[in-house]
Structure 1
Amino acid sequence: MPDRSFNSAGNGPDNATTSLEATSDQPVYGVTNEQQPKLPTRLGLGLMVGPACWMIAYVGVSATLLPAKLQFFAPDQKVALIPLFSLVAMIAATISNIIAGALSDITRSRFGSRSPWIFCSSIACALLFVWFAFANSWPMLLVTWTLYNVALNCVTAPMIAQISDRIAPRWRGTISSFWGIGMAIGNYGSGIIASSFIRDNTAATTGILIFAVIAAIGGVVSPLLMREPSNAHVAKVKFDAATIRQNFMFPTKNCRDYYLALVGKMLMVTGQYVIVGYQLYIFSDYMKLDADQQSASLKIMSMILMITGIVFCIIAGPLADRFHRLKLPVAITTILLGVGAFFPFLAPEPWTMYAYAVIAGIGMGGYNAVDGALNVAVLPDPKTAAKDLGIINMANTLGQIFGPAVAGFILTISGNNYQWIFPTETIICVVGGLLILAVKRVK
């Protein structure tokens, strides 16, 4: 009797009606449309819960509670310290993303190749958040934040690889919508929670501990929902020079569109985090709101972003599958994010940030719904999917680092004039969208 068909990690497709001959030394990569006639809903739910939990914890701390902690510990250095934290985190995240993705590609266990990494690294994230919560100086915050970013990227790279491993091309747009909904919930729901814990250091500590619990829950629930099959019987990869070249190096063949998608994504996220990384200070220093007004404004903005993001994520993914279009939606939504960023440039009033939230939420919802499918479509080699998707996800990490760094640079040279960070985002996002349009392999 033939085994279930296996991808590079030995994972079988959900709802498969046919099976391919797969031996321990000849795995089959990916899932075909014929093998997966029905939408793998349970797997989609796992890919929604996972990013929702790690994003809500990460963004809640990085965008709100980390700046709040720095405001308490180093009020005169806070603007300069944000780029420093971003730079150190970028280095740690870049290295760990590639290594974790590559190691998960060659992991063999009764729980599959990805799930052990997702579970163990999520628990590590939670424990590091506990340490971070009780740090009492900015140097200690920096140490724990760096270690946390290492652990976080050991979650994200293996998790996103499930789309390549176990989703047939016919469903990738829809399943990317599940992923995008989780991203929207995490990205913007984090602000609703975190804004309630910015009053003082004790409140910020409580908020971080709540996010630690959420990170741990995601690491348990997501693998349980995805039910990754065992690949313990698949032949282990010999760890030699050839394996290192294939599984740990940046791709060099059939990769033009891959790198265009990577840089386009990095610019989109960079543009987004030019504002997100400083949104607390935009309300406090640019718009001159008091603590209660800051909290209320952050909640309103986060609610707008979350609602619009979820609605347009639900709409965009199935439409992309129906019309077989991935490149154009990703490019348009990237540019749309830049259009929304111009509103706060007009006046230092909360309504301009709400207007930005409406347009950015529409753009991010559509983007998150389709971006994952586009990334899988431009992969150079399915055998190294997690590593290559990890490198693309590195663009996401780099953008989250570059955004605050770019904003910090603009603020430094402009004498803390926040007005100029908004057209900066516009320019960055437009360039990113144009690079996506240059992709040739995908419609």
Structure 2
Amino acid sequence: MSTSANPSVWRASETDEHQKKAPYRIGIALLLGAALYGGPYTGSNIVLLPAKTAELAPDSKAAIIAVMSTSAMVVAALSNILFGALSDLTRSRWGRRAPWVICGSIGTAIMLNVVAHAPTVPFLIVSWCVYQVFLNVIIAPFLGIIADRVAPKYRGTITSMFAFGSTVGSYAGQVLAAQFITTIPRGFFMLSVLTFCCGFVVAFLTREPSSLPMPKAKFDKRMVLDHFSLPMHNCRDYYLALFGKFMITSAKYAIAGYQLYILTDYMKQDDAGASHYVTIISLCMMFTAMIITVVTGIVTDRIHSRKIPVALASFCIAVGSFIPFFSAEPWTMVAYGLFAGTGLGAFNAVDQALNIEVLPNPETAAKDLGVLNLSNTGGQVLGPVLAATFISAVGYHALFPVAGVCALVGMTLVMMIKSVK
């Protein structure tokens, strides 16, 4: 990226030597941006989309959610790589990342309203997949900002700001969406307004310098392989981080993806009761995650360790996941929210810092971080698919130990990373 002292000189990433102060303005942009795209996504995916699916096909809603999640994963996987690579290669007076984030925010806002008014299940699935395309137009370039603009010594602190925004947005989005379970289109519209604002807020705060002085990549076989394929060299720890995150995310979404149905079908709550408990669970997860995120981000920079916080986080998620297995009372989901919120807060605070430190090539940061972000998308698919499989074969109570085991497997994979302390 360019330096403020000499805009014509570009570096792939910031260094401790050149960045003397923590880039808090970038941190605020990451915090607000993550909340503005993450909140609407989570509120839609966990609350309004299942409610919309149940409205269209109440007898096959669990299977449809699994199909929709799988379809969305394929689309998101391709979109992450494509738009991450395109943003790495973008040369414009507005920078590499901002133009994509703005366009993605506009398209995503439009598609949320299309999803809200889907008249049939096939239309719902297709429109949700198109929504995923635009969502990843935001995410892949957005994550590249961290690698571009934050030096290693500040990554724990700044990525914890990103995680804080993601946490607040995620659970606030669920709380907001829960208020519109009986008026679904209105809920989607409210979320779309927040998404629309994301790109403009991020562009204003990051003030990304022009990327026109940045050397242009020569179009040849090596460039295509570097920018449009999976990493193939010096990437053992990169893939351990990817699959570790994949399993931890699967643990989260095995339960979160079916939270509404757990409350209505397993714990026998009516719509009012389900809405009430979704709000309580979301608030529990939000406040515990907020507090832990802030503390963990500072601590991980001080102790110079990324793996220890991830191990403790995964263990908390595993413990919380097992609790509802022992009782079908709603309080067990509240207890899950407290434990899982603590674990997810710690994990999210360290996650992006860990990801950046295992990148095989900083010049393809957005594309490689986009691939790592597929672990989020993949986890959002594997979690619900595992849940649907075990719900159909055994019953709702079976998905809780499955989620716990996924978290422990993810912890083991992350602890096998050698290049990060």
Distance in 1, Cα, partners of 2:401 & 2:361:
38
Aligned pair count reads 421
Distance in 1, Cα, partners of 2:200 & 2:186:
22
Q: Are residue 413 (structure 1) and residue 396 (structure 2) matched?
A: no
Residue of structure 2 aligned with 1:437, choices 409, 415, 418? 415
Q: Are residue 360 (structure 1) and residue 351 (structure 2) matched?
A: no
Aligned-partner SS, 1:342: helix
For residues 335-354 of structure 1, what are the structure 2 equivalents within 5 Å?
335-354=315-334
Residue of structure 2 aligned with 1:423, choices 377, 401, 405? 401
Q: Are residue 63 (structure 1) and residue 43 (structure 2) matched?
A: no
Classify 1:217/1:22 alpha carbon distance in 2 versus 1 (closer, same or farther; 3 Å): closer
Distance in 2, Cα, partners of 1:22 & 1:227:
16
Aligned residue type for 1:174: T
Number of the residue aligned with 2:137: 154
Residue of structure 1 aligned with 2:3, choices 12, 23, 35? 12
Percent identity (aligned)? 42
Number of the residue aligned with 1:16: none
CA shift digits 1:141-193 (9 cap, x unpaired): 11110000011111111111111111011100000111110110122111111
Number of the residue aligned with 1:80: 63
Q: Are residue 376 (structure 1) and residue 376 (structure 2) matched?
A: no
CA shift digits 1:179-237 (9 cap, x unpaired): 110110122111111111112xxx01100011110100112112211111111222322
Distance in 2, Cα, partners of 1:28 & 1:62:
38
Shift of 1:332: 2.0
Residue of structure 2 aligned with 1:314, choices 267, 273, 294? 294
Distance in 2, Cα, partners of 1:403 & 1:437:
22
Residue of structure 1 aligned with 2:312, choices 321, 332, 340? 332
Distance in 1, Cα, partners of 2:189 & 2:261:
23
Number of the residue aligned with 2:118: 135
Q: Are residue 260 (structure 1) and residue 260 (structure 2) matched?
A: no
Give yes or no for contact 1:73–1:138 (8 Å, CA) kept in 2. yes
Gapped regions of structure 2 (runs ≥ 5): none
Q: Are residue 236 (structure 1) and residue 216 (structure 2) matched?
A: yes
Gapped regions of structure 1 (runs ≥ 5): 1-6, 14-18
Q: Are residue 118 (structure 1) and residue 118 (structure 2) matched?
A: no
Distance in 2, Cα, partners of 1:238 & 1:212:
39
Number of the residue aligned with 1:108: 91
Give yes or no for contact 2:177–2:187 (8 Å, CA) kept in 1. yes
Distance in 1, Cα, partners of 2:388 & 2:117:
26
Residue of structure 1 aligned with 2:37, choices 32, 51, 54? 54
Give yes or no for contact 2:7–2:213 (8 Å, CA) kept in 1. no
What's the TM-score once normalised by structure 1's chain length? 0.93
Number of the residue aligned with 1:385: 365
Aligned residue type for 2:385: A
Give yes or no for contact 1:195–1:299 (8 Å, CA) kept in 2. yes
Give yes or no for contact 2:8–2:214 (8 Å, CA) kept in 1. no
Number of the residue aligned with 2:381: 401
Number of the residue aligned with 2:25: 42
Give yes or no for contact 1:287–1:348 (8 Å, CA) kept in 2. yes
Aligned-partner SS, 1:197: coil
Shift of 1:22: 5.2
Give yes or no for contact 2:243–2:410 (8 Å, CA) kept in 1. yes
Give yes or no for contact 1:126–1:215 (8 Å, CA) kept in 2. yes
For residues 207-218 of structure 1, what are the structure 2 equivalents within 5 Å?
207-218=187-198
Give yes or no for contact 1:12–1:166 (8 Å, CA) kept in 2. no
CA shift digits 1:41-84 (9 cap, x unpaired): 11100001111111111111111111101111100110110100
- Which has the higher mean CA deviation after the structures are superposed, 364-373 or 233-242? 233-242
What's the TM-score once normalised by structure 2's chain length? 0.98
CA shift digits 1:266-306 (9 cap, x unpaired): 00001100000000000000000111111110000000011
Shift of 1:37: 1.4
Distance in 1, Cα, partners of 2:315 & 2:204:
37
Aligned-partner SS, 2:305: coil
Give yes or no for contact 1:253–1:380 (8 Å, CA) kept in 2. yes
